[in-house]
Amino acid sequence: MAVASLSCPELLAPAGDWDCLRAAIENGADAVYFGLDRFNARMRAHNFTEADLPKVVATLHQRGLKAYVTLNTLIFPQELPAAEQYLRSIISAGVDAAIVQDVGLCRLIRHLSPTFPIHASTQMTISSAAGVAFAHDLGCQLVVLARENSLAEIQKIRQQTTVLNKALPLEVFVHGALCVAYSGACLTSEALGGRSANRGECAQACRMSYDLIADGQTIDLGDRQYLLSPQDLMGIELLPELIAAGVCSLKIEGRLKAPEYVASVTRRYREAIDRAWLGQSTELPPSDRYELEMAFSRGLSSGWLQGIDNQALVQGRYAKKRGVDLGSVLAVDRRGIQVEPLVPIQAGDGLLIETERGDRGGRVYQVEPIAGQRLRLCFSRDFDLRAVQVGDRLWKTSDPALEKELRQSFSAEQPRWKQPVDLTVQGAIDQPLVVIAGDRQGRQVSVQSEQVLQAATQHPLDRDRLAAQLGRLGNTAFELGSLENQLPDGLILPISELNRLRRQWVSALEALRSQPNHWPLSATAKLADLLPKRSATQPRTPELTVLVRDLPQLEAAIATQAVRLYCEFEDPRRYREAVQVFRQAQRLEQTIWLAPPRIYKPGETWILEQVRRAEPDGFLVRNYDHLAAFQGDRCVGDFSLNVANPLTAAHWVEQAGLEWLTASYDLNAQQLLDLLAQTPTNWLEVTIHQHMPLFHMEHCVFCAFLSDGHDFRDCGRPCEQQEVRLRDRVGVEHILKADAGCRNTLYNGTAQTGAEFVPALQSQGLFRFRIDCLQESPAQVTQLCDRYWQLLRGQCSGEQLWRELKLMRQLGVTRGTLTTVIR
């Protein structure tokens, strides 16, 4: 039986083009999310245009589905006018919601329209009750939780937000590709290639191969080389638990996937959700699992939904689609390979063979029975079998028959997926017959006959006769649900008139369902109303901030010209000692600020308590829980708050009370200057030297590849015993660190500097400059601070500093992501 206090969650499917949209509609989705040609996190998808919006919305609404537009990227300062115009078009088009990452964009939406729904994107990195409460106060109507939340954590978040009276509907990803990094916290593509994931241009560096280096030695991991590539998510068997946890929307990943993928995954989840809601089993039959693996699979797992299992999440052996396990090669002869297949195989199917020389792929030309279950698979003459050996693993990668069936589900002209309509029939003798038709989304139309009801001499209108005529809905998107006959006995109406009434109510209901939502949209509200006031300020003496990661670095930094020291230690229990060391040696006006871990999840209160008990001068706020935990204390915002435009900056300073903010690392030099031109300069700090934090992950590489454990309880803590680097394909060794929550950050092995842009930034009034240390020795910390201080005082040029630091052993500085042509 269904749980009375809960509602059946919607099934939300992706669409990258019109075929995907139709595939979602015809296979049972309740809603579709899609992007336009700007400001969406899947810019490589075909996407739709502003001109498409009215048709897309009408198509979805007519079929009873909701339309959600993705605006889930950061917005740069010069883009705000275009974003405002985009929002006006989207709101006017009557979509059902926008999925948003940027805090400033949320403020702009709410300024333009008081009621237009905002869904907080998973790019907002919300993993706790405080994050949901933040979204609530920002004016959001729904939160897409981080993929890293478990079922138990989802339940806690719902309970805690209910107590706070700030509960929002929760949406959870249930199927598709998993990002190894927290969404909104991955800077890899930006750092390595200038293609920001926060701008929809992810280069998928997580799917590349890496060598694991521990204490300077390359670890032999055998065939495991894809250390950051998770298996794909499949939560279909956990649907009862997700429903019980109060999840209101179940999301399928895949705006870059083919329409056959959308069709396959949508129909299987539609069936499973309906079973789960009726209290039936959602255990996956082998045929359904086969179909989901054929749709797209790097291996299927429950992700983080059942908690952390680092061994199961990343198997490390491949990073591309594999399909279905077919078995292994039993023999190789001149005509082909012999196999006892684990699943059916026929001519035309796609096959991949894992050989020592790499993957070999092709289509099966012919299948020959040999004996028992053994088959010979033959290929075309140009297929090279010389590299294939007995024992090589086989994968079925393509099933043309299944693909044809899936295409047929959405390519027919007539609707395939039908939704029930409930009819009520009323009338009296010498009065018109009235038909009231209502769908399950609450829309209702009423039509009446042109002829009046008369006394029947034979075949009076009963329920069966009414259902036979009014329920003939073969070419429509409807099917007859319930029919309530309120007519007195013994009345009749011509069949032709009943047929006309059926056509009339179908047409009226279609027209009503096609209507866009009518959201209020202010004609007078302007972007300029929200921009912070930037008054002329007197030039200020430059200030240098240094972030350190251990006590020796801290002791070295205290003796420099830095006025602020940020501490980010792996073990927060060391913070009390750090503050004591600082107090004993600090210079006048020098202050110390502590940085808790970047991610907070339910049950980690002890970490924040350790940080607070150290009694620093202030805190480096990196997420929503820090904001709540340190309310009333001196707080400044870190780069993880993604401050990319003045609207976002204004929220964090004016509404959240932060003293200043570290600008987003997604901004290049010109965009930083644009931000400074529109923001009070005392609000901002810019990092000009750092090892860019690439991936910030729940996945623990230490646990997965340096232990047999599954999580912190049985891994043996190799993170405390070994220094680890991951070497990429071009030979750069990136530095891996763990934090107090056992989350990993992979830092760029090459530091970057924005030294050459410091004069331009100072000309715009910027006076706070930050350098982040990672593994530098105390002597290197001293040298960095001294040289950057000389740069800030005009005693050396940026080019001089860059050329000098490039020669420093073990540092290897590049110009980094700030590089751009300044207008």
pLDDT band of residue 5 (cuts 50, 70, 90) is: low
Mean pLDDT of 529-549: 89
Q: Are 200 and 42 in contact (CB under 8 A)?
A: yes
Question: Which stretch of DSSP H or E encloses residue 675?
Answer: helix 669-677
- Predicted local confidence at residue 823, as pLDDT: 52
Number of domains in the chain: 5
Query: Which amino acid is present at 536?
Result: A
The answer to the question of residue 311 being in a domain is no
**Domain closes at, from 388, 411, 434:** 411
Residues 164 and 28 in one domain: yes
3-state secondary structure of 393: strand
pLDDT at 42: 66
pLDDT value, residue 819: 65
179-187 mean pLDDT = 89
Q: Are residues 249 and 137 in the same domain?
A: yes
More confident residue, 445 or 41: 445
Do 598 and 684 sit in the same domain of this protein?
Answer: yes
pLDDT bracket for residue 7 (50, 70, 90): confident
Instruction: Assess if residue 431 is contained within a domain.
Output: yes
Lookup: tokens for 608: 């924040």
User: pLDDT-based confidence at 716, cuts 50/70/90?
Assistant: very high
For residues 56 and 46, state if they share a domain.
yes
Q: Quick check: is 665 in a domain?
A: yes
Residue ending a domain, among 750, 771, 787, is 750
Q: What is the pTM of this model?
A: 0.94
Q: Which domain holds residue 455?
A: 419-513
Choose the weakest-confidence range: 3-12, 75-84, 788-797.
Answer: 3-12
Angle, CA 728 vertex, CA 726 and CA 731 arms, to 5°: 105
* For range 585-604, the mean pLDDT: 92
| In-domain check, residue 287 | no
How many C-beta atoms lie closer than 10 Å to residue 108's C-beta?
24
Residue with tokens 């006590």: 551
CA distance 205 to 696: 13
606 in the same domain as 473: no
Three-class secondary structure of residue 439 per DSSP: strand
Examine residue 317 and state whether it is found in any structural domain, yes or no: no
Rounded Cα distance, 499 and 483, in Å: 16
Average pLDDT over residues 449-453: 96
- Tell me the helices (H) and strands (E) count for the chain, helix number first: 24, 39
User: What pLDDT does residue 3 have?
Assistant: 37
What sign does the CA torsion over 128, 135, 659, 565 have? Answer: positive
205 band by pLDDT with thresholds 50, 70 and 90: confident
What stretch of H or E contains 747?
A: strand 744-747
- How many CB atoms within 10 Å of residue 686? 23
Regarding whether 346 and 249 lie in a shared domain, the answer is: no
Query: What's 567's domain CATH number?
Result: 3.20.20.70
CB 253 within 8 A of CB 220: no
pLDDT at 201: 72
Range list of β-strands (E), 195-328 = 211-214, 217-218, 232-234, 249-252, 300-301, 324-328
| One domain for residues 699 and 741 | yes
pLDDT at position 810 is 41
What is the average pLDDT value for the chain, to the nearest integer? 93
**Statement to judge: residues 376 and 449 lie in one domain:** no
3-state secondary structure of 576: helix
pLDDT value at 811 more than 50: no
- Predicted pLDDT at 809: 41
Domain assignment present for residue 451? The answer is yes
pLDDT band at 504 (very low <50, low <70, confident <90, very high): very high
Of 726, 750, 774, the residue that ends a domain is 750
Does 381 lie in the same domain as 272? Answer: no
- The answer to whether residue 525 scores a pLDDT higher than 50 is yes
Mean per-residue pLDDT, 588-616: 94
- Annotate 113-131 with DSSP letters as a single string: -SS--EEE-GGG---SHHH
Which tens digit of pLDDT belongs to each residue from 234-281? 999 999 999 999 999 999 999 999 999 999 999 999 999 999 999 999
d(CA 505, CA 526): 43
**Residue 424 sits in the same domain as residue 382:** no
**DSSP 8-state symbol, 181:** B
Residues 687 and 697 in one domain: no
Mean pLDDT, rounded, for 616-642: 96
In this prediction, residues 165-193 reach a mean pLDDT of: 89
339, 326 in Cβ contact below 8 A?
Answer: yes
pLDDT in tens, 290-323: 999 999 999 999 999 999 999 999 999 988 999 9
Tell me, what DSSP letter sits at residue 321? -
CB-CB neighbours of 737 under 10 Å: 20
86 within some domain: yes
340-383 pLDDT, tens per residue?
Answer: 999 999 999 999 999 988 888 899 999 999 999 999 999 988 88
Say if residue 142 is in the same domain as residue 252: yes
Q: Is pLDDT at 723 greater than 60 in this prediction? A: yes
Whether residue 305 is contained in a domain is answered as no
